[in-house]
Amino acid sequence: MNILQAIATRLRSLRLVHKLFIGYILLICIPFAVFGFVFYRQMYMNQLDHFKSGKTQMMEQAYRNLEVDLTKIEAMYPLFQNNTSLIDYLGGFSAEDWDQAYIYKKEIGPTFSFAYISNQLVDKITMYKADSKVPILSPEVEDIARFTAQQHAEAEAVEQLPPNRGLWVYEASSDRDRLPSIRYLHKMYNTSYTRTIGLLQLTLNDGLIKQFFNTQQSKDEVWRIVADASGRVLYEDPALELDEQAQSELLSRVPKAGMASFYTKDRHYLIGAARIERFNLTLVEVYKTRDALNIGKEAGLAVGLGLLLLTLLSVMYFTIASSITLRIVRFSRHMRRVDDPKNAIYPADEGGADEIGYLISAYNSMISRVDELKQVVTQTELLKKEAEIKMLQAQINPHFLYNTLETMCMLAAMNDDNEVADIGLKLGKLLRYSLSKTKDESTLGEELENVRHYLDIHRVRMGDKLITDFVIHEEALPLPCPRFILQPLVENSILHGFKNVRGPAELRLELLAEESGVLLRISDSGSGIPAERLTMIREVLEGRLPLAEISSSGGIGLHNVNERLKAFFGSEATLDVQSTEGQGTTITSYLAKGGRRHA
């Protein structure tokens, strides 16, 4: 935390140019570098995924084609097994030599020719006869003893084959630049499949594996590998740049069945591998991704464009920063050179419409305002002195009024005019309560006493016509409240409610103590309030209409009392005005205890 505070303090003490430079590094350079790295990384990963997807699709197609070719080669076996002449020949069917030669040339030889023509992948067809007495009539026929002597391990495997199965075998070359030779072996049986009479061997040319690699039609540099089940490399074209350990690690990830594509060496190489289960060989293609995707060139282009864009952004940023700092420097120099306030106005054409222009405009306005205020202060001082003299001349001490009223009361009492003396006494108390400025807060008891004095004075004028009724709970009288909240409400009833009433004027004031406050209710039997004006008064009290909508003093008095109650007791202490024209008016409010906290 202390480190952050120290950094913040240090930044506040830097010059604006330095702050802008730091902002340039933090807001442009670093985000640009991060965005460029993320963008390049995302683009690179997308290219790798696309490259891998394309190569995988091509390898899947090549794998399916190879499986089809192998199936076609296996399908050649029934061609020979179903040739009865060939079966009879291999089974040792006795015939004259010239008959056998004729039959072979007519019935058997075309089968071999058709097999060569129908599948270009077959390089050689060899038929090994089990019966040594059967004469050899063509180069394609050999004695099985020769096969057994040359391929002892294969002969044992062939011996274990069921009638419906053949055997795929390969023979590795001594040179890694030559593909292994692949052969298909299948035993020949008599017509009842009870006796082995020979062995069919189909030797394939290099076209099978070459066709697998060529199907992918890659224009990129690619290394092709053929490996056995143990991971030993039998063929590679060209020689791999990887060392033996890397090659072993690569081949260890080849699937046991099917095909797979994966990256290795930090995605520098894409490996596509297919395990050919029939002859237990693995065909692998290795792509160098950087060369294949031409990433180096694209990276250079991206970096170049990024640097160009960063340069343009830098020029724009420093142009904007210079326009800010230079204007601020000129403005500060102007303020330092000002000696005479009359010459302190900064030229308007140096401002502008931006924040600095707004600052200059505010500065010019301030200078003009200061000059005006200096003149106003001078004039005010003169008027103040003149007003003080006039106020001393016109000032009358309120105590002088109280003493004068008391003197009048004493004279009235001396002349036995008790009614005048009583009115004067009540008026004096009313004035004393009204003119007292010692405090703004009162109690409901003091407010009630002031209202009683007010009503006593009006009772002299109205006589028995004014009928008052007070329902007062003593527990309600100590409640603190603002001054002059009861008298304006009572005055409303007398001046407005009873204005046009010829009969008795009844006024009822209730202060009812409750658990959490006091219920205030003032009701009269006056003329009431018209419905339209009542709606207007309520909307003014609720704040939905401005006070100017009320034209008479009665509504203004209600508004003033309402605002003072809300300020003292809170927003709940609003005046509720209920009135029916010709039947009277009732004003209610609830004064909560502890209302002084809202004052």
Q: For residue range 245-292, what is the model confidence (pLDDT) as tens digits?
A: 777 777 777 888 888 888 887 788 888 888 888 888 988 888 887 766
**282 phi and psi angles, rounded to 5 deg:** -115, 125
Of 596 and 571, more confident:
571
- CA separation for the pair 12, 88 (Å, rounded): 108
pLDDT tier at 471, thresholds 50, 70, 90 = very high
The mean of the pLDDT values for the chain is: 81
pLDDT surpassing 50 at residue 599: no
Contact 350, 327 (CB under 8 A): yes
pLDDT tier at 352, thresholds 50, 70, 90 = low
The CATH number of the structural domain formed by 441-598 is: 3.30.565.10
Contact 235, 179 (CB under 8 A): yes
- CA separation for the pair 501, 330 (Å, rounded): 79
The top-scoring range by mean pLDDT among 36-50, 284-298, 401-415 is: 36-50
Please report, in angstroms and rounded to a whole number, the separation of the first and last CA atoms in the chain. 41
- Report pLDDT digits (tens) over 570-595: 877 888 999 988 889 999 999 988 76
- What is the CB-side half-sphere exposure of residue 200 using CA atoms within 13 A? 28
160 contacts: CB under 8 Å, gap ≥ 6: none
- Report pLDDT digits (tens) over 21-31: 777 787 777 88
Listed by start position, the domains of the chain span 51-290, 441-598
What homologous superfamily does CATH list for 51-290?
A: PAS domain (3.30.450.20)
Residue-level pLDDT at 125? 93
Q: Measured between alpha carbons, how far is residue 164 from residues 74, 185, 186, 279 in Å? A: 11, 12, 9, 17
Residue-level pLDDT at 366? 79
Query: How many percent of the chain have pLDDT more than 70?
Result: 84
pTM higher than 0.85: no
Instruction: Summarize the confidence of residues 422-446 as an average pLDDT.
Output: 75
The residue with tokens 């007070």 is: 470
- Report pLDDT digits (tens) over 376-405: 677 667 656 665 555 444 445 566 666 677
**83 phi and psi angles, rounded to 5 deg:** -85, 100
- What is the CB-side half-sphere exposure of residue 248 using CA atoms within 13 A? 4
User: Any idea what DSSP says for residue 104?
Assistant: I
Residue-level pLDDT at 96? 60
* CA of residue 188 relative to chain centroid, distance: 73
pLDDT surpassing 80 at residue 473: yes
Contact 21, 314 (CB under 8 A): no
Helix, strand and coil content of the chain, in percent to the nearest 5, comes to 55, 20, 25
- Identify the weakest region by mean pLDDT among 323-327, 398-402, 510-514: 398-402
Of 492 and 295, more confident:
492
- CA separation for the pair 550, 570 (Å, rounded): 24
Residue-level pLDDT at 259? 85
pLDDT tier at 554, thresholds 50, 70, 90 = low
The top-scoring range by mean pLDDT among 211-215, 248-252, 321-325 is: 211-215
Query: How many percent of the chain have pLDDT more than 90?
Result: 17
